[in-house]
Structure 1
């Protein structure tokens, strides 16, 4: 049980266009981490990525479609109730979202932009975006980098800056929100052709704060130093995610840093493995890889000492116990979720 005897819950997103059930709620076993499905909410196309409000009373989901929208839901016990109509984000293919300064931010992969949608006092969405920041640029990959493709947007740990990761332009943008408008402050270039997908911040330590960027087009992870005073990201090292050359497709996806900052976990689609890295200052050391428990792991999450993987093409969410010494995950079980794409927790 969570604090006060409240049952811990998980919320799972899926691709309805690929046969997914929409949004699901699940109970989380307090000792084994096992998931038990409770119910689902239909009506929103492709709710592929989710975020909970800090108090756990609201859930927000993108609709990863060509028209692009974001939707809000009240969390009522074990159920989700729509909180108004979905709001267009004035961008296509929103693939990630986060909360910042009274707004929902979406990263719109198709249009290569970041959108801010204001929140009302009760946590519901206002009727229209307050601002859209259009990315520009391209990369050397002929098919995947013809233009910008914003893949993730999130606030920095101190809550001042907005960081957006763009696979199409091989860069990370640092912005601020001014009167509801995302305003670009600086753009940090990563290696051409790397295809950055997601960034995860580590906890602040004696050497400062590190950020880890997982690169989709070349299976590597870039270690960066983050300066919260100036909003500056400095790339330091780049490390292969796999122990050898991939046998076929290898597209890294989710990245998670352990709460104590000792380990970094990365999922790779195609190879269908989870890589565990030990954090050693500004270096990452590959500890090992294990099977992801399914096929095409799209997203990772850590909760309660367990690691969870949304395996999109095998249609399941798997959970793993974590070895406290090595950080290596150990498969414990899974639950069937067709076209699973994301999982978040209310802890």
Structure 2
């Protein structure tokens, strides 16, 4: 009887642990909502004339629905590249949530803002210079933060995060030598900065320059003086990693998604042919579990993909269609995908079904609409 009792207790404990969280391919455990407050953060990117940049916060309910929960000033100004069709910053990662911190770019004042996140409340901790002109993207990895500045020659600036403060790293400001004006055009501005999961390289995509640059990360977060450059004729825009050594890269020129292996020296080796989605102006990518979603701002749609046995597969070129939207950036919270629609001035939330299909569950309106070359951009979630 005693042995049976012990076995029963072990089984009960195992059941409780299994129900508390679910491990997914992204290496994270998506826990059920057990009292924790989840939120979606939207960057308004408002210029100085409109009161400056702010972060709108929305509380996420267990069913995915969003409700307004406040607005917080970044202490900086929004900005824009020249000639953007619907997306003022023409980038991915302009607003990044990492643990209890939120990082926002202020493209119009060449600064970045660091917030502490308390559920749906934000406390501004720091506003600091970005290390260049027109910051558009941020990457965070194990206490290291890298900012992509799109203006002029373009530059990556590295910071060390210590005691909730950003400290500039000597030897971590690297020019991209783009030769652009202070306010570059949409097609010439770099699109994203990111760090590979192993922390070996800082990657930068340069769109119609058709290159992906990889700076090796050295001691203390310093960067190699010269990057390894890989040509990519698809117009590399946004990327995400599907394993620790392979990444998926969106091609804005060809409206494709391509899988690559990041080699030991920093070059990219293409795995299979690019997979087109039949849409227009494919730019951003977001992972939810085993599925990957690409937003196509030209056709205002979202496409869905999956990696099956090492092969990239298109599931649905039009997994979601947003009327009058102008879909741009995306984020995920639990099993929900949230899409920022600049032209419509809204955010739509979708439940991700077991087969990767999307079901609309919420729409929030009243956000800044894209007009006269500027509008909201940047979305993140807890």
Q: What TM-score, normalized by structure 2, do the two folds share?
A: 0.75
Tell me what 1:102 maps to.
143
Alignment partners' CA distance in 2, 1:77 and 1:321: 21
Matched, 1:190 2:232: yes
Cα displacement (A) at 1:195: 2.1
8 Å contact kept, 2:169–2:222? no
Q: CA RMSD in A?
A: 2.8
Alignment partners' CA distance in 1, 2:53 and 2:177: 35
Alignment partners' CA distance in 2, 1:33 and 1:297: 19
Gaps of 5+ in 1: 244-249
Matched, 1:154 2:194: yes
Would you tell me which structure has more helix in proportion to its own residues? Answer: 2
8 Å contact kept, 2:53–2:78? no
Alignment partners' CA distance in 2, 1:29 and 1:10: 11
Alignment partners' CA distance in 1, 2:43 and 2:316: 30
Over residues 183-227 of structure 1, what are the superposed CA-to-partner deviations in whole Å (9 max), with x where a residue is unaligned?
244111111xx32111111135xxxx4311112233222221234
2:66 paired residue among 35, 40, 50: 35
Over residues 265-316 of structure 1, what are the superposed CA-to-partner deviations in whole Å (9 max), with x where a residue is unaligned?
1101121001112333333324230213651211012221111101112111
Question: Alignment partner of 2:200: what SS?
Answer: coil
1:115 paired residue among 151, 154, 157: 157
Gaps of 5+ in 2: 1-30, 80-88, 180-184, 369-374
Alignment partners' CA distance in 1, 2:314 and 2:118: 43
Matched, 1:91 2:132: yes
Alignment partners' CA distance in 2, 1:50 and 1:213: 19
Tell me what 1:241 maps to.
277
Matched, 1:333 2:333: no
How many residue pairs get aligned? The number is 319
Alignment partners' CA distance in 1, 2:228 and 2:150: 20
Structure number with greater CO (CA < 8 Å, separation at least 6) is 2
Question: Alignment partner of 2:166: what SS?
Answer: coil
8 Å contact kept, 1:270–1:295? no
Alignment partners' CA distance in 1, 2:118 and 2:352: 31
Query: Judging changes above 3 Å, is the alpha-carbon distance between structure 1 residues 96 and 64 closer, same or farther for their aligned structure 2 residues?
Result: same
Once the two structures are overlaid, the 10-residue window that deviates more, 1-10 or 100-109, is 1-10
Alignment partners' CA distance in 2, 1:226 and 1:35: 37
Tell me what 2:118 maps to.
76
1:266 paired residue among 287, 294, 317: 294
Once the two structures are overlaid, the 10-residue window that deviates more, 1-10 or 151-160, is 1-10
Alignment partners' CA distance in 2, 1:107 and 1:168: 17
Question: Alignment partner of 1:16: what SS?
Answer: coil
Question: Alignment partner of 2:209: what SS?
Answer: coil
1:5-20 equivalent positions in 2, closer than 5 A: 5-17=35-47
Tell me what 1:131 maps to.
172
Structure with bigger gyration radius:
2
Query: Judging changes above 3 Å, is the alpha-carbon distance between structure 1 residues 335 and 93 closer, same or farther for their aligned structure 2 residues?
Result: same
Q: What TM-score, normalized by structure 1, do the two folds share?
A: 0.82
Matched, 1:296 2:326: yes
Cα displacement (A) at 1:156: 0.7
